[in-house]
Chains A and B, each alone.
Chain A
């Protein structure tokens, strides 16, 4: 296989295993480029990419922007806080106006699940989903699996637990799809109020006890508590959450094996992870960020082959 089937990357759900592996192999080559003194290649020099962010983001937007620039694409940035969206323009109108300026690819983050899918039916440009509400965040899941593959050699056969706020997390859903497609076993762990009702129907194990979950797993992907999405209180206090689900050095040391700790950022230090865990050798949090640029370069490169 040397190309993706779709001209968009809307979610992991529609990708198959070969496509994910193609993205990883391409990302290996870009990671190599990023470790050279000159970190730029001219592949996308005639492509214009718009980063359209209707929701706040630091890491993802910077990572995409760097990936685009290192592929020599022309980049424009758009964030809803300073735009006509505030004046009542619809999503389709906003994007069509951007496209009228001859833009080839759209990287979009939106608070509504399905927003990029809707766009893909109405416009011609390639769309990359950079997170749609609580639905999917495909590039994050790709870089997470890529980082597991890099750290442990392979994703297949690994036991991965996703800890924390599964209910509000697009990272969790995309990760479950990606890990399962690559042959890993997946467990989710968190307070019952933060686990979606029928999550087990996706074929994942459910565990309420963090110690048992960590004893079972090879890799723990710890999610952030998304207070900004929680419209009601799902647990009594952050202090209580960190007492029951926070991971500290003591807990890790009491396990009879070494596990890998991941976090998509931003970390609430002292809530999901204590500082000594986040900064320990177990954690590959900064490797994830580094790999993010290579993965996004791979996705942009593979999709740009389908422009026009």
Chain B
């Protein structure tokens, strides 16, 4: 099994602080903006971004967890149904600028489901997408990210393995070649 390291801990931290700078540039003091981490791994990334933003802005940045399981379009088309995770959005997103956060952007279908799931909590005035890794040229749906940690050119027989400290592992993100 061949694998290539895309992010180690150091690079991940640098990338997150760069993404935060970019967010502050566009959202100012976050008085009209909220961040939504997508379950399961987007929430860890969102927590880190929230922490980094709060340190720089010196104020609370609202964060919610969004689970898209019940809104997916591949339910009953997978062999094993996806296990749902907790959705925790303790605020109304009506008229807010929402930043969706996920680890990997691949086909775009999860983002489509997230856009759907989000409407349960109001009509946002604007939605943006932040991802750590953008797998280019793999989209099934016309969805693109506004903030990207790293663009990677991949093929179908590869997958991205995200290991984060929050899961009890070392921060490492790999691009793995699946065995034929």
Contacts and interface: CB of A to CB of B under 8 A. Distances in A.
A32 B70 contact: no
Interface string A37-53: 11001111011000000
User: Interface extent on B, as a size class?
Assistant: 20 to 34
A2 B82 contact: yes
Given A33-B70, A38-B120, A42-B70, A305 B84 contact: no
A97 interface: no
Contacts of A307: 76
A143 to B, nearest CB: 18
Contact of A41 (B71, B78, B80): B71
Interface size classification for chain A: 20 to 34
Nearest to A28: B86
A27 B85 CA distance: 11
Given A36-B120, A42-B71, A2 B76 contact: no
A69 to B, nearest CB: 14
A37 B81 contact: no
Contacts of A38: 119-120
A43 B75 contact: yes
A308 interface: yes
A33 B85 CA distance: 12
Contacts of A47: 76
Interface string B104-134: 0000000000001001110000000000000
Contact of A302 (B81, B86, B121): B81
Contact of B120 (A2, A37, A46, A308): A37
A197 to B, nearest CB: 42
Contacts of A280: none
B157 interface: no
A36 B88 CA distance: 11
Contacts of B70: 29, 33, 41-43, 301
Interface string A146-157: 000000000000
Interface of A: 2-3, 25-26, 28-29, 32-33, 36-38, 41-44, 46-47, 301-302, 304-305, 307-308
